[in-house]
Amino acid sequence: MSSASEQGTVREARAKERAAPEGPAPAVNGSRRAAARVAPTRPVWPGAPTPLGARFKAGPDGVAGTNFALWAGGAEAVELCLFDTEGAGVVETRCPLTELTHEIWHGFVPGVRPGQRYGYRVHGRWDPWTGARWNPAKLLLDPYARAVDGDFTLPAEVYGHVRDWPQQHVADTVRDDRDSAPYVPKGVVVHDDAPDDEWADDRRPKTPWADSVIYELHVRGFTKLHPGIPEELRGTYAGLAHPAALEHLVRLGVTAVELMPVHQFAHEDHLLRRGLRNYWGYNSIGYFAPHAAYAASGTAGQQVGEFKRMVRALHEAGIEVILDVVYNHTAEAGELGPTLSLKGIDNRGYYRLQPGDARRYADYTGCGNTLQVVQPHVLRLITDSLRYWVTEMGVDGFRFDLAAALARSFHDVDMLSPFLAVIAQDPVLRRVKLIAEPWDVGSGGYQVGAFPPLWTEWNDRYRGAVRDFWRGALPDVRDLGYRLSGSSDLYAWGGRRPYASVNFVTAHDGFTLRDLVTYERKHNEANGEGNRDGSDDNRSWNCGAEGETDDEGVTALRRRQLRNLMTTLLLSTGVPMFVAGDEMGRTQRGSNNAYCQDNEISWVDWGLRDEPGWRELFALTSRLMELRHRHPVLRRRAFFSGRAHSADGLRDLAWFTPRGTEMTEADWYAPAATLGMYLSGRDIPGRDARGAPVADDSFLAILHAAEQPLDFVLPGPPWARSYEVVVDTALEEQEAPPGTVHRAGATVTVPGRSVLLLRVGHA
């Protein structure tokens, strides 16, 4: 609870507010926005409490209109506000919703059609000390709005409290009674026009997990500079659906795009004050609405159809669509954040508040608030949103940002939590791809390897081991062995499979692949935070010079390291994921936290694809992808056993030292920078679609991270009689397999810092 002195300060503030003469609204961006003229109310029929949101339909006697339904537990009254343009002005019509069913306020308004802009005003107590923050002066976005028209600019008027109150430690307790409607986006009524069978299973790629390769991209950043996309479509859903964008994805060979957040999001106040914007989008405010700024066709509902057409185009190209979703927190931040939607609808119902101090928020996300997923209506909001994106928008899966926060019960992370239990039994959601970012910032939040079956996870243990190996920082190769072979130490329980591990070396958060071998220190000065933001634990190596250089020896080594990292990723058991542009050397100029850089720092530079030195990396990546698709031994659906499956003693997985001998326990613990991994194509678990056994070639991969060349003895029978070189990362050109054949038992020289992949011959 607050102190008596704080409460006294607030009482004085309220007295001054009541005594102060009413003046004009403060200027916003140098000009005042006129308030909407309030029109007489329209007739509101009782309507229905379900479904939630705004649904255009035929009402009683076939009259066309829209049913509105809003869950607002604890509210005293709810007004539906309709906004229409009249001449040069805006007319606001306030319609009280008088029907209340199980805390859902609802009503049917005849004549309201798709394209109608709307919001809510919710009445109730203002008592921040108990978590009550109702303020009818603030127009609120419908949590179920399917389209949003406008942008969040966050002037002082959109805060439920007096944002600029001189005494900031009590500012959140002083109510701001200025109307926010002129300054906030509005929800838009959308026509439900998707055929029931539009997203049927037979129209989706349905790529098995083991066969998947994920490509993380930003809708705007991927398309913004693409010369083959018409300028008016760049940066949009339509741009991503353009044949020029699809051609790159198909040529590369990825099976799924993981779109960085496309839910409607808002920009943070501290960024707007510095002239920056949220680029990544991890600041959601509308869980049903495609982000309006990525639409080329319009924002009065057209963004919904444009998104669907994008998904359809990707599906026709054989590419699945996975959304990066942020259900752990919203853009309303903590007690000093704006009032945009949930905070003004039912702050205590939607958010976790601190036990014993309901004025403050429990923050497991580092973003000011955490959604209270244990509350049934909040859980319903999330699952309704997920089902909507699958059944009506056509997406194929989700990557859950800070998923550990969603798995918390009342405090601790609980793998039997309501959220995980509901997902597991939902007939729609349990069939799509589910990826957890298996951590949050709260106590006990690191949960890599702990999520239940059905879930895959971003495996940062893989990222750390591979980065450390190639920069020469691993003391031995024990951890690398686990990561290359599917991380059985993390996932071989409860029926989980190797594809539970989403393997990655880079992601949006951190250095790009090129920057990983170019910088040892972050360079985030452009963010305006004194380079204090972003991680200091980059596990990078600049190959001898910080930043870009003209030293040909350094640049050649960097390109080789890029080939090593990409080859390691695509030969590892599990699901590989990499970031758009890594396949052609995209750089962020040393920024490892480009979340607010909506410019060339973050956008994909398409000129690299044809630039000498980088086009070879693209060619290698594409060929490795084809190799992976062609060989099931690289896409195993079950963990290796390490046991012999035939009389000759040949095992499905074996590890070799440079002496050509199998590794012993002592070898695993000895300092080493080289590892030989033998993958047997015999007796691969499982059967093909016709029930026949799966058989494949066998391979030997030699990973050598030391600077000096190494003599490696190729294992003899029964492992092989000969070896054909398939990939040699010491070579710049990788257009075709090198094709050199070595006899078993021969000694090959492995160049320093390189990967040699050899196909086994048994004849």
Closest CA to 433 of 412, 461, 454, 447: 454
In eight-state DSSP terms, residue 715 is P
Residue 163 region by backbone torsions, left for phi larger than 0, else alpha for psi between -120 and 50, else beta: alpha
Closest CA to 434 of 364, 485, 496, 508: 496
Provide the token pair at 650: 């040949």
- The catalytic residue among 401, 582, 652, 697 is 401
Distance CA(748)–CA(761), nearest Å, equals 16
Cβ atoms 462, 500 nearer than 8 A: no
Three-class DSSP category at 320:
strand
- Which helix (H) or strand (E) segment holds residue 450: the answer is none
Active site residue 437: yes
- The catalytic residue among 157, 176, 363, 437 is 437
- What would the DSSP string read from start to end of 511-534? --HHHHTT-SS---GGGSSTT-SS
CA angle 500, 501, 507 (to 5 degrees): 135
CA-CA distances (angstroms) from residue 519 to 161, 302, 589?
A: 44, 43, 9
> How do beta strands 455-459 and 501-504 pair?
parallel
Active site residue 316: no
Closest CA to 438 of 479, 412, 405, 471: 405
Cβ atoms 374, 410 nearer than 8 A: yes
CA 561 to chain centre: 27
Distance CA(440)–CA(365), nearest Å, equals 6
- What would the DSSP string read from start to end of 657-704? -TTSSBPPHHHHHS--SEEEEEE--TTEEEE-TTSPEE----EEEEEE
CA-CA distances (angstroms) from residue 396 to 202, 255, 499?
A: 13, 11, 16
C-alpha dihedral (430, 435, 440, 446), degrees to nearest 10:
100
CA 531 to chain centre: 24
- Buried/exposed code over 183-192 (b: 16+ C-beta within 10 A; e: otherwise): bbbbbbbbee
Can you name the residues that pair with 54 across neighbouring β-strands? Answer: 68
661 C-beta neighbours (distance < 10 Å), count: 12
Positions marked catalytic = 401, 437
